Chains A and B, each alone.
Chain A
Amino acid sequence: MEIEHTAYKRCDLIKVKGRLDSASVPEFEERLKQITNSGRYRIVIDLEDLQFISSAGLRALISTQKVCRRYNRGEVVLANVPENIKAALDLAGFTTLFKIFPDVVSAVANV
């Protein structure tokens, strides 16, 4: 797994590549925590180059969403979701909990 982090004025963009499984989720969670611990709660996660996400990865998304949405201070949104991963999000009932944008530009503009 690789993570690219870009801090914009109004939000943070995380591009996660490769596999998000139990081996890589702790590092992914840590990077997200660094962002929320610094008081920033608008996060765009770009999944374009994500090949695989396990339920551990889905749990990391949910726990970050809970932190970000508290007091209506922000939210996590997803961009460029590959079809297979969209199917996993659907089955987990996550598509109602995350806004999904077709590209990063619209996600950053709307988060």
Chain B
Amino acid sequence: MFETYVDALMPKYTFPGQYESLAQIAALIRQATQELGLSSLDAYTVEMAVDEACTNIIEHAYGGEGLGEIELEYKIEADSLIIILRDHGKPFNPKKVRPPRRDVPLKRRRNRGLGLYFIHQWMDEVRFDFSEGTNTLTMVKRKR
């Protein structure tokens, strides 16, 4: 089903892999969520999922700022917003990231894994692929 999302006509945006890009990416995503007419909370969840994904690309795929680009495409199809993020950094294996423990006391809270947790909780579909030197993350949010 995911394959049908890839469309040559989707507009593509490229951003430098730097934290300063996050606010510009967020502005673009807000425009997309408004186009689809998502509720304020649903729009916020998409903005956060995309922010977390882009931060992961900079931190983990490229291993730092200014080392590669973030490619973003989005498309509104019926009641869904489809977002595709690509990078050319290290392959990302989501299975290697342990989910955070949310039920443990403050002292035992770990600092990592929260971003990926938000992505999975807040998007309706999430898929990670790596092929030919490119990480592709496809995320779908449906209008309720």
Residues of chain A whose beta carbon lies under 8 Å from any beta carbon of chain B: 19, 21-23, 52, 54-56, 58-59, 62-63, 65-66, 69, 83-84, 87-88, 91-93, 97
Contacts and interface: CB of A to CB of B under 8 A. Distances in A.
B106 A69 contact: yes
A56 B102 contact: no
A49 to B, nearest CB: 15
B46 to A, nearest CB: 11
Contact of B48 (A62, A63, A88, A93): A88
B55 A22 contact: yes
Question: Which 9 interchain pairs have the tightest Cβ spacing?
Answer: A93-B102, A23-B19, A84-B44, A55-B114, A22-B19, A55-B115, A21-B22, A22-B55, A54-B51
Contacts of A56: 55
**Chain B, interface residues (CB within 8 Å), range:** 20 to 34
Given A21-B22, A21-B23, A52-B48, A58 B114 contact: yes
Contacts, number: 72
A66 B48 contact: no
Interface of B: 19-20, 22-23, 26, 40-41, 44-45, 47-48, 51-52, 55, 58-59, 100, 102-103, 106-107, 109, 111, 114-115, 117-118, 121-122
B22 A23 contact: yes
A87 B44 contact: yes
A16 to B, nearest CB: 15
Contact of B19 (A21, A52, A63, A87): A21
Contacts of A93: 100, 102-103
Contacts of B107: 66
A23 B20 CA distance: 6
Given A21-B19, A52-B48, A87-B44, 4 more contacts: A21-B22, A21-B55, A63-B111, A93-B100
